[in-house]
Amino acid sequence: MPWKCVDVMEERIKFIFLALQKGANFSRLCYNFGISRPTGYLWLNRYLESGSFAAVGELSRRPHHTANKTSRDLESRVIALRRKHGWGARKLRELLLRDGLDMKEATINRILKRNDLIKPEDSHRPALKRFERERPNELWQMDFKGDYKADEGRCYPLSLLDDCSRFAVGLYALSRQNTPVVYNSLVHAFETYGVPEAMLMDHGVPWWSTTNGHGLTRLSVRLVKQGIKLRFSGVRHPQTQGKVERFHRTLEHAVNHHGKPTSMSGWKQMFTYFIDEYNRIRPHEALQMDVPANRYKPSPKAYNPNPPEWEYPLGSTVKRLNPQGCFDYRHRRLFVCEALGGERVQIQKTDNKLLVKFRNVYIREINTKNGRSVSLLTPVLKT
C-alpha cells in the first residue's frame, strides 16, 4: 500500500478555512490536524495579516540577513506588525523569529523611528524582577482595573492572573462590582481552569469588608469553601500585586492602540481578543520571550458548586453562628463575622483568649476579659 501524500499548502488552507467557520473549536481543530495551538495561530495570523491564503505557505527558516539595507518587504512587515499590536522592537523581533526572519532589535527600532511609529510613552524602565510562585495555580492574583465608559453605563474589567506563568485565566467586562456578578465570573474561570491553591487580592469590594474590622465578605467566604487560601495585599501597597498591575498597563496600552469600544458587547469582544493575544502570541520578557500559554496548565482541583460541611476534629468545640454572625459564651454574645452568619466555626480556648476558626482559616481572636476582638486576617508580604 503506497504512503498517503498530503500537500502541505492544501492542509494549511483547509485548516484556516475551518478555523474561520462560525463556532469552530480551535483546540479540537489543532488536535485533528496534529499541530500545536501556537502553530495554528501562526498560520491563521499569516492569513489575517495578508488577507490571502497564499501567505500561509512555509517560509524559509534560514535567517534573512540584511547587511546595510532592509528590504522593502521586511520593512513593510515590521510596520504591519507594529500597527497591529503596538509592541516594541524586542517583541516584534520575537514574532519575526517565529517566521524564520532574523532581524536585529536595533534594525527594527530604526524602522519604527524612520516611520514615526515610536511615541514618548513607549519608552519605559526595565521591569523589576519579582518573586513568583514555582507552579501554575499555586497563586492567582485578582483585581479590578479602572472602569471604562460604555453606552449602557460603566465597564469594570475584572482580571485573574496566574502568578507563575502570567497566564490570564480571566478578563471579564462587568457592569457591576457586586458579589453575584463577580462570583459568576469566578465560577466561569474555575470551571474552565480549575481551582487555585490561593488567591491574592487587595482591600477592595467585594472581597474585603471595611466596615466590620475583619475583612471577610460573602464572596471571600465562598472562596474559602472551595479550599482557596486568601491572601490580601498590604494597604496602600499596590506593588504587592505587581504582576496584575503590569497586566493592566498592557491592557491599557492595547485599548489605546486599538481604540475604545462604546458598548459592553464591544468591550467583551475586545477583552476576548486581548486575552488570546496576551496568552498565546505576545512574547513575555519575564518568560524569556515565551508566551504564558506554554507555561500554564489547568489546576487538577475541580470546582465544587456544593461544597460539603467542614469536618472539624473530633472533640473540638463547634458553634453555629446566628444570622448576625454571633455566638453565646458564658452568658455573653460575642461577634465573629456577619459574612459567616449561619456557618459552623471552631472555638479554641487559650489563656483568656478565644480563637475562632472557620474551616482551616483562623478568623478572629477574642479576649474573654475585656471583650476586645482582633482580626487574624493579615496582609501578605510583597511579591
pLDDT tens sequence for the chain (383 residues): 333 334 566 677 778 778 888 888 888 888 888 888 888 888 888 878 776 666 666 554 444 444 444 677 777 787 787 777 777 777 777 778 877 777 777 887 778 777 777 665 455 444 444 456 679 999 999 999 888 998 888 999 999 999 999 999 999 999 999 999 999 999 999 999 999 999 998 877 788 776 655 678 999 999 999 999 988 875 544 445 678 888 989 999 889 888 899 899 999 999 999 999 999 998 888 788 899 999 999 999 999 999 999 999 999 999 999 999 999 998 889 988 889 999 999 999 887 889 899 998 888 888 888 878 877 775 544 43
- 341-354: pLDDT as tens digits: 999 999 998 878 89
d(CA 292, CA 167): 5
- The residue type found at 123 is S
Cell numbers standing for residue 106: 536595533
CB 368 within 8 A of CB 356: no
Cell numbers standing for residue 246: 503590569
- The residue type found at 262 is T
| 367: enclosing H helix or E strand | strand 361-367
Please calculate the CA angle 166-172-173 and round it to the nearest 5 degrees. Answer: 140
d(CA 111, CA 76): 9
d(CA 27, CA 37): 7
Residues in the chain: 383
Our separate counts of H helices and E strands in the chain read 10, 13
Residue 239 confidence (pLDDT): 44
The DSSP letter of residue 284 is B
Please write down the long-range contacts of 344-348, taking CB distance under 8 Å and 24 or more positions apart. 344/309, 344/310, 344/312, 344/318, 344/319, 344/320, 345/318, 345/319, 345/320, 345/321, 346/312, 346/313, 346/316, 346/317, 346/318, 347/316, 347/317, 347/318, 347/319, 348/316, 348/317
- Which residue from 42, 151, 159 is spatially nearest to 99, judged by alpha carbons? 42
Cα dihedral sign for 25, 29, 35, 38? negative
- Which residue from 314, 284, 254 is spatially nearest to 166, judged by alpha carbons? 284
pTM of the predicted model over 0.85? no
Domain extent listing, the chain: 8-122, 140-294, 317-375
Residue 382 confidence (pLDDT): 42
Helix (H, G, I), strand (E, B) or coil at 193: helix
Q: How many CA atoms lie within 13 A of 311 on its CB side?
A: 2
The DSSP letter of residue 238 is G
CATH superfamily entry for domain 140-294: Ribonuclease H-like superfamily/Ribonuclease H (3.30.420.10)
Residue 119 confidence (pLDDT): 63
CB 303 within 8 A of CB 190: yes
d(CA 43, CA 109): 26
How do 198-201 and 140-144 pair as beta strands? parallel
How do 317-320 and 168-174 pair as beta strands? unpaired
Residue 60 confidence (pLDDT): 44
Residue 94 confidence (pLDDT): 78
